[in-house]
Chains A and B, each alone.
Chain A
Amino acid sequence: MVGSPVLFVAIPLLTAFLIPLFAYIWKELVRIIPGIVILYLLVLSVSLYGQVLREGTIVEQIAGWAPPWGINLVFSPFTGLLSTLMLFMAFIIWMYSYRFKNIDFEPSKKYFILLLMLVTGSIGIVLTGDIFNQFVFIEIMSISGYGLTAFYVGRDSAEASFKYLIMGSISSMFLLLAIILIYSQLGTLNMADIASKAHLMKPEFKILALIFFILGLGIEAEIFPLNGWAPDVYSQAPGPIGAAFSGIVVKAGIYALIRVIYTLFDVEGSLQFLVIIGMITLIIAEMAAIRQDKIKRMLAYSSIGQMGLVLVAFGIGTHEGVFAALFLMVSHALIKPLLFLSGSYLVFNSTEKSIKELNGLGKFMPLTSFLFALGAIAIVGLPPLSGFWAKWSVLTAAANSGMLLVIGLVLAISIVEIVYYFRVVNRIYFFKKEESVVPKIPTINAKFAMVILAVIIVAIGFYPDLITSYLHEASETLLDKGNYIQNILSVAQQVTQ
């Protein structure tokens, strides 16, 4: 026994409550402790993941009551992969933002508490096996998100945050409505129990609950009509928080949506619906991205587009499709934060944060510019970086299922992406620098964080086999619904016998 999955939630919560007390002892502890906690959890997650791959899924019951009566946490090859990925990204973001800007002590204390809780909420969403508990974690995540978005006083951040809050809280009410519909029919809140009894629900309840779930979870997953908040939030929030949103929060949203569609219900045609909604999201986001003149808004629209592609890949529904979607998620979670982190140093001292102000920075900020270019190459899917293999696996999955439209679309979108990313890279390297812009050299910890990400992207690009076996295992776990139900409810059967 290495540890238990409940520590991923309990220890950060304990730390968050402790941080205000530590602040009275030594102010620097406020910055150090979250990093130590995240690192410890990362080590724990890796070791638990290894154990899970050898011995099978861990189902952790809370308060000693077996599911479906108590809440349970599920650490399977699929959820373990995601939680490890999230904790890794959290560590990188912590390292980057250790001394991002010289902010006062009080705000920096709040910043690190909220950052820690953002990560905890996301991990809770992934690990929990109970829909109401998931709702609670979604709220933890989004309240931290609102607070972090409005963190800088000077900008229009409060407006972006308010917009996010209005959309977020309306959608969370829809989530609660979906939970009400399910409870009124089945009298249970456990995911595995719902999945095993889903055929007992009246069809109209099932369909309405699914619609409400999509409305409620789509906001975090950035699907088409619900993603109006994303560009504002990404452009107004502090740089590391943009990275945290694209690397951690969105992944949790996608996970929740996929869990509902793949495991909870078996509604006819929901997978085709995913493909359609993903395609619409992809097309609209990429068309919007090409028109942006601010760097972070462009990255935000690109992030929405990538999530659309992930949904399309999940919608293919075969093992290959799920594999491709997971590959895309992992590779996007590594690349987009790199772009955000390096991009926010590129526009560190500029007032408008627009692409024009990046002109000619390649000579003055060689490392940051190089990392940004590397990220750009990776995300458009040029070989030999990780983005290429992700897109390649989407193409093969679509080809094997005969979805020619998807193939055409992915290729067309790649060209659009090349146009707008290389417009930026071109400006960085081949334009003359504007007088007014003062280059800013990253701090040593930020450099270190970005270089780690870049090294991993290159490594996966040259040796994709490093992660493919894990991804195959994870997609198998997601698709094997019967096994999921049996894993969880067998605990209950042992109790009753």
Chain B
Amino acid sequence: MDQVKFDISLIEYGFFISAILVIMIGLYGAMVKKSLIKIVIGLSILESGVNLLLITIAYVQGGTAPIFSPGLLKDMPLTVENIKALGAGMVDPVPQALVLTAIVIGFGVTAVALALVIRLYRHHHTLVIDEIKNLKW
């Protein structure tokens, strides 16, 4: 029994650990890599990590998706008590809504970044950041 318990808690910590690892990989890519494309990929990974962390805090143990589908309602009358009882067993919907917004914003930023990469390539005919430094970095 003890063994099982240990495993579960490791998995639970694993969600935080993996999200933070993804964030670190993304930051490393964005800060160290020399290729413009790889920097943009690093940014994308960073965004994914943050989104993962955001979704992780939404989980409620044993919770279902926050959708009151007909199968879940099972002809129950729509009273405050019924809804509250069902809602208590659902995961937190707020971070999920926030993640939707964050993903779309991240997409917009990535699109602009790639457009800039195309522009830079057009001017300098290279993607290596060391060869583009006309301005002081």
Binding site for B on A (CB under 8 A): 132, 136, 139, 143, 146-147, 150, 153, 156, 158-163, 165-166, 169-170, 172-173, 176-177, 179-180, 183-184, 187, 189, 228, 231-232, 236
- Contact assessment for A180 and B53 in the assembled complex, using a CB-CB cutoff below 8 Å: yes
Q: Which residues of A contact B116 (CB under 8 A)?
A: 146, 150, 158, 161-162, 165
Scan residues 30-77 of chain B and give those whose CB is less than 8 A from a CB of chain A: 30, 36, 39, 43, 46-47, 50, 53-54, 57
- Contact assessment for A146 and B105 in the assembled complex, using a CB-CB cutoff below 8 Å: no
| A183-B109 CB under 8 A given contacts A132-B98, A232-B135 | no
Query: In chain A, what residue has the closest Cβ to B36?
Result: A162
In the complex, what distance in Å separates the CA atom of A150 from the CA atom of B114?
A: 13
- Contact assessment for A173 and B135 in the assembled complex, using a CB-CB cutoff below 8 Å: no
The interface bits of chain B over 111-137 (1 if a CB of A lies within 8 angstroms of the residue's CB, else 0) are 011001101100100000000111111
Q: Which residues of A contact B95 (CB under 8 A)?
A: 180, 183
A261 to chain B, nearest CB (A): 23
9 contacts between A and B (CB under 8 A): A139-B105, A158-B120, A173-B50, A176-B50, A177-B53, A179-B98, A180-B50, A232-B136, A236-B135
In the complex, what distance in Å separates the CA atom of A163 from the CA atom of B23?
A: 20
B102 at interface, CB cutoff 8 A: yes
- Contact assessment for B135 and A163 in the assembled complex, using a CB-CB cutoff below 8 Å: yes
- Contact assessment for B39 and A158 in the assembled complex, using a CB-CB cutoff below 8 Å: no
Q: Which residues of B contact A187 (CB under 8 A)?
A: 92, 94
Binding site for A on B (CB under 8 A): 23, 27, 30, 36, 39, 43, 46-47, 50, 53-54, 57, 92, 94-95, 98, 101-102, 105-106, 108-109, 112-113, 116-117, 119-120, 123, 132-137
| A183-B94 CB under 8 A given contacts A136-B105, A139-B105, A176-B50 | yes
Q: Is the interface of B mostly helix, strand, loop or mixed?
A: helix
- Contact assessment for B47 and A173 in the assembled complex, using a CB-CB cutoff below 8 Å: yes
- Contact assessment for A143 and B112 in the assembled complex, using a CB-CB cutoff below 8 Å: yes
| 8 further A-B pairs in the complex, CB-CB below 8 A; given A162-B36, A183-B57, A228-B137 | A146-B112, A147-B112, A159-B134, A166-B30, A169-B47, A180-B53, A180-B95, A232-B135
The 7 closest A-B pairs by CB, nearest first: A158-B119, A184-B57, A162-B116, A156-B134, A232-B135, A139-B105, A169-B109
Q: Which residues of A contact B108 (CB under 8 A)?
A: 139, 143
Q: Which residues of A contact B133 (CB under 8 A)?
A: 159
Q: Indicate which residue in B109, B120, B136 contacts A143 across the interface (CB closer than 8 Å).
A: B109
B62 to chain A, nearest CB (A): 19
Q: Which residues of A contact B137 (CB under 8 A)?
A: 163, 228
| A159-B120 CB under 8 A given contacts A169-B43, A173-B46 | yes
Q: Which residues of B contact A156 (CB under 8 A)?
A: 134-135
Query: In chain A, what residue has the closest Cβ to B115?
Result: A150
- Contact assessment for A132 and B119 in the assembled complex, using a CB-CB cutoff below 8 Å: no
B47 to chain A, nearest CB (A): 6
| A165-B135 CB under 8 A given contacts A136-B101, A158-B119, A180-B57 | no
- Contact assessment for B112 and A165 in the assembled complex, using a CB-CB cutoff below 8 Å: yes
In the complex, what distance in Å separates the CA atom of A161 from the CA atom of B119?
A: 11
Query: In chain B, what residue has the closest Cβ to A162?
Result: B116
| A160-B101 CB under 8 A given contacts A169-B43, A170-B46 | no
- Contact assessment for A162 and B120 in the assembled complex, using a CB-CB cutoff below 8 Å: yes
In the complex, what distance in Å separates the CA atom of A162 from the CA atom of B123?
A: 14
- Contact assessment for A166 and B39 in the assembled complex, using a CB-CB cutoff below 8 Å: yes
Q: Which residues of A contact B105 (CB under 8 A)?
A: 136, 139, 172
Q: Which residues of B contact A166 (CB under 8 A)?
A: 30, 39, 43, 113
- Contact assessment for B109 and A165 in the assembled complex, using a CB-CB cutoff below 8 Å: yes
Q: Indicate which residue in B36, B101, B135 contacts A132 across the interface (CB closer than 8 Å).
A: B101
Q: Indicate which residue in A150, A159, A184, A189 contacts B132 across the interface (CB closer than 8 Å).
A: A159
Most buried by A among B27, B95, B105, B108: B105
| A177-B43 CB under 8 A given contacts A139-B105, A161-B116 | no
Q: Which residues of A contact B57 (CB under 8 A)?
A: 180, 183-184
In the complex, what distance in Å separates the CA atom of A291 from the CA atom of B100?
A: 46
In the complex, what distance in Å separates the CA atom of A30 from the CA atom of B120?
A: 29
| A150-B109 CB under 8 A given contacts A166-B43, A183-B95 | no
Query: In chain B, what residue has the closest Cβ to A233?
Result: B135
In the complex, what distance in Å separates the CA atom of A189 from the CA atom of B92?
A: 14
In the complex, what distance in Å separates the CA atom of A176 from the CA atom of B98?
A: 10
Q: Which residues of A contact B119 (CB under 8 A)?
A: 150, 153, 158
In the complex, what distance in Å separates the CA atom of A377 from the CA atom of B44?
A: 46
In the complex, what distance in Å separates the CA atom of A448 from the CA atom of B102?
A: 42
In the complex, what distance in Å separates the CA atom of A156 from the CA atom of B133?
A: 9
Q: Which residues of A contact B43 (CB under 8 A)?
A: 166, 169-170
Q: Which residues of B contact A165 (CB under 8 A)?
A: 109, 112-113, 116
In the complex, what distance in Å separates the CA atom of A396 from the CA atom of B103?
A: 48
In the complex, what distance in Å separates the CA atom of A170 from the CA atom of B105?
A: 13
Query: In chain B, what residue has the closest Cβ to A232?
Result: B135
In the complex, what distance in Å separates the CA atom of A217 from the CA atom of B61?
A: 34
In the complex, what distance in Å separates the CA atom of A166 from the CA atom of B57?
A: 27
